[in-house]
Amino acid sequence: MKQKLKKITGAKHALAVSNGSAAIMAALAASGIGTGDEVICPPFTYIATIEAVLMLGGLPVFAEIDETLCLSAAGIEKAITPKTKAVCLVHMCGGNADMDGLMAVVKKHNLILVEDAGQAFAASYKGTATGLFGQAGAYSFDFFKIATAGEGGIFVTNDEATYKLADSFCDHGHDHIGNNRGMENHPVIGFNYRISELHAAVGAAQTRKVPYIRENNLRIKKQMQQVLSKVEGVSFAKLGDDNGDSGTFLNILMPDTETAKRTVDEMNAAGVGGFNYWFTNMYHFINQWEHIKNLKTASKLAIQVLGAPQDYNNLDIPKTQEVVGRLISFGIRCTWTNEEVNALAEKIAACATKAMKPVNA
Ligand SMILES: Cc1ncc(COP(=O)(O)O)c(C=O)c1O
């Protein structure tokens, strides 16, 4: 599984683990993120990103995203404090962030970059795979991703020392030297984030199909965009690099939140499925993260002892609210026929047109 992923991404080191959440945890831990470290995170991500920071004792600092659906360079710059140690960038909805702008800020402030590319395996920016810009990166192979292992994840890095640390961290600290597991040394304290061989076998078979899936997804996405771009007011999420899209999502931006909500209502009424309206989604957007905002935990975490670095209930993130409010994402299936794609695109276009009317009237 990891060999096949290395071939696609060009990563020097990869480690298959139990899931994408474990992979991002390993990426943060092996990059040295721990107790009391402020980590700049997006308020629009799968919740695992934030959980991983918190479980390691880190303190999430939420910053603004932009139309790439990822943290923006300006957003990061504004959120930096003397305690900022790292940025945990998330490449959302199959796309890629504006890496040139972002890397300039990361370098200027001497920050550690960790990339959660959980949704962006097979995406890239100017020829470099998402996940490989910082010290370490992570991909998810759960049932919803471009390649699935049933459950699985992959940690990647180009740095050997970071890889060795992750390799031990994900297997109870074992150094994996020699051929007698019971006699191995333990350079660090770790935990069990191993993937099972059964899951890895499925992951390997699925990873082989990724170039084919991506090619078809991109063709389908283009076809749908052609139909939808005829609807006045409809636009699409931006990509840091148009050539590096993984093609897993069609990300539609409506003119405003109210129109997006009406479009969702129209699509529900018309029986159109397969889309996410993240603005009201319980797992992907901070507006619904009551347990995180109010630090509800099973046992005491570092953040409760050290204090949250921001007032999570009163964040100043207007750009993020605007972008996520306007966003409707469709998961693309590479098996759709031309007829199915056109029929779906026409249905979405009709719903969007209808939803737009009260604004134009
Ligand atoms: C951005 C992101 N990070 C992390 C994860 C967690 O991956 P997993 O479900 O494999 O634990 C996901 C899964 O949806 C994700 O989308």
- pLDDT tens digit sequence for 112-153: 999 999 999 999 999 999 999 999 999 999 999 999 999 999
Do residue 329 and residue 199 come from a single domain? no
Q: What is the CATH number of the domain that holds 105?
A: 3.40.640.10
Residue nearest to atom 1 of ligand 1 (CA): 118
Do residue 219 and residue 202 come from a single domain? no
Q: What is the CA radius of gyration of the chain?
A: 20
- pLDDT tens digit sequence for 284-328: 999 999 999 999 999 999 999 999 999 999 999 999 999 999 999
Ligand 1 centroid from CA 140, angstroms: 5
pLDDT averaged over the chain?
A: 97
Helical ranges in the chain per DSSP H? 2-9, 20-30, 48-55, 73-79, 99-108, 160-169, 197-208, 210-228, 257-269, 290-293, 302-306, 318-326, 338-360
Does residue 358 carry a pLDDT above 70? no
Given this model, what pLDDT does residue 2 score? 85
Which residues form the domain of 345? 211-281+319-360
- 298: buried, middle or exposed (CB in 10 Å: 19+, 13-18, 0-12)? exposed
| C-alpha torsion 143→146→152→157, nearest 10 | -160
pLDDT band for 1, please (50, 70, 90 cuts). Answer: confident
Q: Are 82 and 109 in contact (CB under 8 A)?
A: no
User: What are φ and ψ of residue 245, in 5° steps?
Assistant: -70, 140
Percent of the chain with pLDDT strictly greater than 70:
99
Boundary residue ending a domain (184, 209, 234): 209
Written as six digits, the tokens of 7 are 């071939």
Percent of the chain with pLDDT strictly greater than 90:
97
Q: Are 120 and 94 in contact (CB under 8 A)?
A: yes
Domain count within the chain: 2
Q: Does residue 312 form part of some domain?
A: no
Ligand 1 centroid from CA 50, angstroms: 11
**For ligand 1, which residues put their CB under 6 angstroms from it?**
19-21, 24, 45-46, 48-49, 90, 116, 118-119, 140, 142, 144, 153
Q: What is the CATH number of the domain that holds 243?
A: 3.90.1150.10
- pLDDT tens digit sequence for 3-25: 888 999 999 999 999 999 999 99
